[in-house]
A and B are shown apart, each in its own frame.
Chain A
């Protein structure tokens, strides 16, 4: 099944990629071939509609025509003044920029292929170094074997980047597969916000196997946002790894809108004392969409904190799965770990699955997890209507509010308002 996907692995054209990277890619290609396709009998794929995921239906994306590239560039509306901005279409670089002031401070913001060529050693210790824990070993192997597009951000010690850095990943044309990657390395005491926009040109069916590594050093702060807005026929798999050292803080927010089957895996590893991680997701599911979300809050040190809030709004025959585990290592005393899943059911045919789990081996731990599933509150509806708001708009506004509670946790105002716009465009009345 892998032949068509692997035969067109990244070209190494003008500048050679580092040997270690090429070796890893080769090994990953072999792994992809030998690893079995997961089945629903695997614990980490319970309830998943694996039939939707067949890499055989797709081939590595071909470059888009120049006119389309220009059109996609002009449609890459992001922040008014981002610290850096990069645009890819079908895994090919279209545009790239970084604020010169940041470059002068030693900040690196590079397309990942260029970063591999120019700063290979810097990437070597971080790129896809984490063992997959949530079931996507095979797909991550394909990601690694095929990786050619994405952004690398390096923030030197003590440097604070106020404005977010943004990457657009476009895909165009039927049956194309892309493998976006984002690698963020934030050195001690630094801070940055990064956003990935995943968007399709048109309604074609595509495959995306994306991954990111967020490496948060001592006392550093990283906020990462992904907006999954692929076409409604597409298949999307996205794996996030967040590693937080002592005193560091991470925030990971996923806004999930597109795809027919969309799986997101997110692991937060709290590796140093006092490390913190917020894991957030807001999902709008309609039609026959399925959003399959798997999380792990891995507390490996004392006094660590993690807070997960995943919210799903479901229309029609849509389906969501949130399976989350909090794991507290024996010595990770005084851990605070929270996990909240909230489902808003907007149709009797929708299906929300919540599978929480706890594995606590330390003392003096505060952990809670809870999942609730409910419908639109009739009192809220009546209150809105009593102000003249039509019931169809009231439904939309209440649903917006439900998901916006997640977006409100993001401190960056302009970015938050863009996410709110993307969310509003996706919501329906009743």
Chain B
């Protein structure tokens, strides 16, 4: 059981190709990290997998437990077991967090079936406590007026409630101070286990001190150019990305 990205080519609709033959397999029970310089295609990858309408796939496939999800609407992908934690979570004025998460869970039920309210709030409060989110949060509008830390905690809360098979965390560390980062990371770590595969996208090694990956990939120019253990993240942290680019150029001209 895995999320397989095979020879993926993609671009902004009508624009330049950003992903150029990307291959990656995320197995259930494992945490993969993708690191890469700005502009390497990290965020594009997450949006493509989630089905963002601004991007188009020009080749390849994404298989979720063997099923190609690229022709599916974003909501169908989510219900199939995919989750994207946004780098910039969106504000939805007038819709309470409780109603929002409830609607997402309701969407997973068969027609005519109703979510059981008491059970729902029980689960919600349990996960909120784990993420140190105060109860008043449920009545607030989705992400509206939230601090960076609150927004990211809300992403992790949604992930905990929706229980995806595969989760992509896009720059979950951006905008967080160290205390917020620790809480968010603890929330993510609590969800690790044999039933979920994770892809952590980050520019900095810092996040990977708290969410320790099994595998680290380096993305440059729309392709995975290097794959190794967690030690690769430290190497990138101390040496930057240029040495990899230099090596690639050397290989290309050799």
Q: Show the binding face of A for B, using Cβ within 8 Å.
A: 377-380, 382-391, 393-394, 397-398, 400-405, 408
Chain B positions within 8 Å of A379 at CB level: 90
- Measured between alpha carbons, how far is A405 from B51 in the docked complex, in Å? 29
Question: Is B68 on the interface with A (CB-CB < 8 A)?
Answer: no
State the majority secondary structure of interface residues on A: helix
**Min distance, Cβ B77 to any Cβ of chain A, angstroms:** 8
State the majority secondary structure of interface residues on B: mixed
Question: Is B53 on the interface with A (CB-CB < 8 A)?
Answer: yes
**Min distance, Cβ B172 to any Cβ of chain A, angstroms:** 15
* Contact assessment for B75 and A385 in the assembled complex, using a CB-CB cutoff below 8 Å: yes
* Contact assessment for B53 and A387 in the assembled complex, using a CB-CB cutoff below 8 Å: no
Question: Most chain-B Cβ atoms within 10 A of its Cβ — which of A380, A387, A400?
Answer: A387
Whether A390 contacts B95 in the complex (CB less than 8 A), given A380-B90, A383-B89, comes out as no
**Among candidates A390, A398, A400, A401, residue contacting B75 with C-beta atoms closer than 8 Å:** A390
Whether A397 contacts B95 in the complex (CB less than 8 A), given A383-B86, A383-B90, comes out as yes
The tally of CB-CB contacts under 8 A between chains A and B is 84
**Among candidates B78, B79, B103, B158, residue contacting A393 with C-beta atoms closer than 8 Å:** B103
- Measured between alpha carbons, how far is A378 from B54 in the docked complex, in Å? 10
- Measured between alpha carbons, how far is A404 from B99 in the docked complex, in Å? 12
* Contact assessment for B93 and A397 in the assembled complex, using a CB-CB cutoff below 8 Å: no
Chain B positions within 8 Å of A404 at CB level: 94-95
**Among candidates A382, A385, A391, A401, residue contacting B95 with C-beta atoms closer than 8 Å:** A401
Whether A387 contacts B93 in the complex (CB less than 8 A), given A382-B52, A382-B53, A401-B141, comes out as no
Question: Is B73 on the interface with A (CB-CB < 8 A)?
Answer: yes
| Chain B, residue nearest A405 (CB) | B94
* Contact assessment for B78 and A385 in the assembled complex, using a CB-CB cutoff below 8 Å: yes
* Contact assessment for A388 and B107 in the assembled complex, using a CB-CB cutoff below 8 Å: yes
| Chain B, residue nearest A398 (CB) | B92
Whether A389 contacts B104 in the complex (CB less than 8 A), given A378-B53, A382-B53, A401-B141, comes out as yes
- Measured between alpha carbons, how far is A369 from B122 in the docked complex, in Å? 44
Whether A386 contacts B92 in the complex (CB less than 8 A), given A391-B73, A393-B103, A393-B107, comes out as no
- Measured between alpha carbons, how far is A314 from B19 in the docked complex, in Å? 40
Q: Which of B86-110 contact A (CB under 8 A)?
A: 86, 89-95, 99-101, 103-104, 107-108
- Measured between alpha carbons, how far is A378 from B90 in the docked complex, in Å? 10
